Amino acid sequence: MSERASAYPPSFEYVEGWGMVEGHHSRVLRPASVEEVQDDLEGARKARVSLALRGAGCSYGDPSITRDGHVLDLTRLNRILAFDDESGVVEVESGVTLEQIWKHILPRGWWPKVCSGTMFPTTGGALGMNIHGKNNFRVGTWGDNTLELDIVLPSGELETCSREQNSELFHAAIGGFGMLGAICRAKLQTTRIHSGEIDVVGISTHNLGEMMERMDAQCSSADYLVGWIDCFASGDCLGRGLVHAAHYLAPGVDPEPEQTLTVAHQELPGSIMGFPKAQLWRALYLFNHDPGMRMVNAAKYMAGRLEGMAEPYRQSHAGFNFLLDYVPNWKWAYGRHGRRGLIQYQSFLPADVAERVYAELLTLCQRRSFNPYLGVLKRHKPDPFWLTHALDGWSLALDFKVTPKNRAALFGHCEEMTTIVLAAGGKFYFAKDQVLGLGDPQRFLSTERLEAFKALKRSLDPGNLFQSEMSRRLFGNSFLS
């Protein structure tokens, strides 16, 4: 293993996707500076070993794992370089997490423009996968709010790009799932806030049609919009659930902004209903089967009925945005061993067909007895990135439990859903995908842009240095020059 002055030697680990259904033993390199990244790239080129880029490993599937090469983990590039509290522009190294960013800027009255459901992703990962949040319909994706980035190309050259400079690379690397180079630094625009809290209203909805109607009605005014769906309900209640719409507070509305704009005010609760948080996944584990989850979903729907009748309330930004972080390691409720885990099947559909197709998907899941344990509906808008998943329409994310036993049949079920989604002009999202097959991306990505991406990949990375399980699964050897 290569010698390095820094204290972190490479290690040999089991590296898995966030959903835990696939992982491999890999050597993990953890460079702490651009120079060390360049060293590692050179070492890999000389040894003819490919590299899979990895941040916090929050992608559900396989974009940050590899069975052949090494893993280049950029989490140690974790310095916040600058923050200008006049403009709200923050400059960070790519291993800086969303958590680090919000904790740094919130006390000064700013908040990240785009927040995923968890605060653990790194900036580099968020850019590579071009992630979105509950406000995609309003502010776009993480890439839309990025002003500039530095990327170390496979050759080792450091390139700066933005909308004006190296614009092609900028639009290809964002959402380019780590194929073009290692993003090492980024400048991000954040948003001004006048309170550490946000106004939230819960709207209980009886079925999918009503949910979409109510969300559409909120679209022009709400800052955030998300619909939770009880995927067990059928018939007239198909797609019943609860919409949360949130609005930023205008200046002066919060009587004590200096109190709410503190990190302490944002902290998620240490225990939930008496359970210590760290062990709560064990309680969820007891319900992690069809009858249990049917019950949990029904109970949540009932609670949502009450919430829908209640007054709007205020919640901290962290509490509202990072729903997935309330229960640490909740994914372990799906099992921790023996290739158990979960996949999230998130499909994106144009506005005019979404309701029909999503109803079809939910019905199909019930018919095949593959009940999603969680369903989340969001509204989206298009963006200019070459391999983007975003469009003018909706997305529905469905969580499925994976066991060694159900795996083959479940993946077959997903394939069936994919046929329906693609036929309706739908798209998919690399941060979530674990199930698409070779050639599927060219059926939902613009041909022109995909070809341009492949050409750029071949010219920047003729030795195919950057590879991952995902790149080989979806693109085979079409990146080879």
Partner 1 sequence: MSSHISATNLAADASGGVSAKRAIVVGASSGMGAALVVQLVGEGYRVGAIARRAEVLEELQLGCAESAEEAVGEVLVRVHDVTDFGAVPELFEELVRALGGLDLFVFAAGIMPKVAADEFDSHKDLAMIEVNFGGLVAWMNPVARLFQSQRSGTIVGISSVAGDRGRSGAPVYGATKAAMNTYLESLRNRLGESGVTVCTIKPGFVDTAMTRGMDGLFWLISAERAAELILKAARSGATERYVPRQWFVLMTVIRAIPSFLFRKLNI
Q: Does 24 bind partner 1 (CB under 8 A)?
A: yes
**Given 235, 252, 270, 338, the residue binding partner 1 (CB under 8 A):** 338
Axis crossing angle, helix 351-367 with helix 407-423, rounded to the nearest 10: 150
Closest CA to 230 of 375, 401, 359, 379: 375
How far apart CA 113 and CA 248 sit, in angstroms, is: 12
**Given 148, 254, 355, 440, the residue binding partner 1 (CB under 8 A):** 440
Give the range of 12-20, 207-215, 347-355, 447-455 binding partner 1 by CB under 8 A.
12-20
Q: Does 423 bind partner 1 (CB under 8 A)?
A: no
Q: Does 55 bind partner 1 (CB under 8 A)?
A: no
Q: Does 134 bind partner 1 (CB under 8 A)?
A: no
Q: Does 276 bind partner 1 (CB under 8 A)?
A: no
Instruction: Fill in the amino acid letter for 85.
Output: D
The answer to whether 183 and 94 have CB atoms below 8 angstroms apart is yes
Nearer to partner 1, 15 or 233 (CB): 15
Q: Does 259 bind partner 1 (CB under 8 A)?
A: no
Nearer to partner 1, 24 or 378 (CB): 24
Q: Does 438 bind partner 1 (CB under 8 A)?
A: yes
In 3-state terms, what secondary structure has residue 50?
Answer: coil
Q: Does 36 bind partner 1 (CB under 8 A)?
A: no
- Cβ 49 to partner 1, closest distance in Å? 13
Give the range of 44-52, 88-96, 110-118, 439-447 binding partner 1 by CB under 8 A.
439-447
How far apart CA 337 and CA 348 sit, in angstroms, is: 31
Q: Does 57 bind partner 1 (CB under 8 A)?
A: no
* DSSP H or E run through 361: helix 351-367
How far apart CA 249 and CA 199 sit, in angstroms, is: 7
DSSP string over 214-268: HHHHHTTT-SEEEEEE-TT--GGGTT-EEEEEEEEPPTTTSS-HHHHSSHHHHPP
Question: Footprint of partner 1 on residues 441-460 (CB under 8 A)?
Answer: 443
Q: Does 6 bind partner 1 (CB under 8 A)?
A: no
Nearer to partner 1, 228 or 400 (CB): 400
Q: Does 330 bind partner 1 (CB under 8 A)?
A: no
From the number of C-beta atoms within 10 Å of its C-beta (0-12, 13-18, 19+), residue 300 rates as middle
- Cβ 469 to partner 1, closest distance in Å? 8
Q: Does 76 bind partner 1 (CB under 8 A)?
A: no
Q: Does 287 bind partner 1 (CB under 8 A)?
A: no
**Given 23, 95, 239, 319, the residue binding partner 1 (CB under 8 A):** 23
What is each CA distance from 240 to 157, 210, 235, 297, 403, in whole angstroms? 52, 8, 10, 10, 27
DSSP string over 89-116: EEEEETT-BHHHHHHHHGGGTEEES---
- Cβ 345 to partner 1, closest distance in Å? 14
Q: Does 104 bind partner 1 (CB under 8 A)?
A: no
**Given 251, 276, 382, 437, the residue binding partner 1 (CB under 8 A):** 437
How far apart CA 77 and CA 192 sit, in angstroms, is: 26
Q: Does 314 bind partner 1 (CB under 8 A)?
A: no
**Given 9, 251, 382, 462, the residue binding partner 1 (CB under 8 A):** 9
Q: Give the torsion sign (CA, 169, 469, 185, 460).
A: negative
Q: Does 412 bind partner 1 (CB under 8 A)?
A: yes
**Given 14, 192, 256, 352, the residue binding partner 1 (CB under 8 A):** 14
264-273 long-range Cβ contacts below 8 angstroms, 24+ apart? 265/196, 265/316, 266/102, 266/106, 266/196, 266/316, 266/317, 266/318, 266/319, 267/318, 268/318, 268/319, 268/322, 268/325, 268/326, 269/326, 272/326, 272/327
Nearer to partner 1, 412 or 462 (CB): 412
Q: Does 342 bind partner 1 (CB under 8 A)?
A: no
Instruction: Fill in the amino acid letter for 392.
Output: D
How far apart CA 161 and CA 180 sit, in angstroms, is: 13
- Cβ 436 to partner 1, closest distance in Å? 8
Q: Does 13 bind partner 1 (CB under 8 A)?
A: yes
**Given 404, 451, 477, 480, the residue binding partner 1 (CB under 8 A):** 404
From the number of C-beta atoms within 10 Å of its C-beta (0-12, 13-18, 19+), residue 49 rates as middle
Nearer to partner 1, 336 or 356 (CB): 336
Q: Does 419 bind partner 1 (CB under 8 A)?
A: yes
- Cβ 282 to partner 1, closest distance in Å? 11
Which residues neighbour 258 within 8 Å (Cβ) at sequence distance 6 or greater? none
Segments in 403-468 forming alpha helices (H)? 407-423, 441-444, 447-460
- Cβ 437 to partner 1, closest distance in Å? 4
Interface residues with partner 1 (CB under 8 A) are 1, 9-15, 21-25, 27, 67, 336-339, 404, 407-408, 411-412, 415, 418-419, 422, 436-440, 443, 473
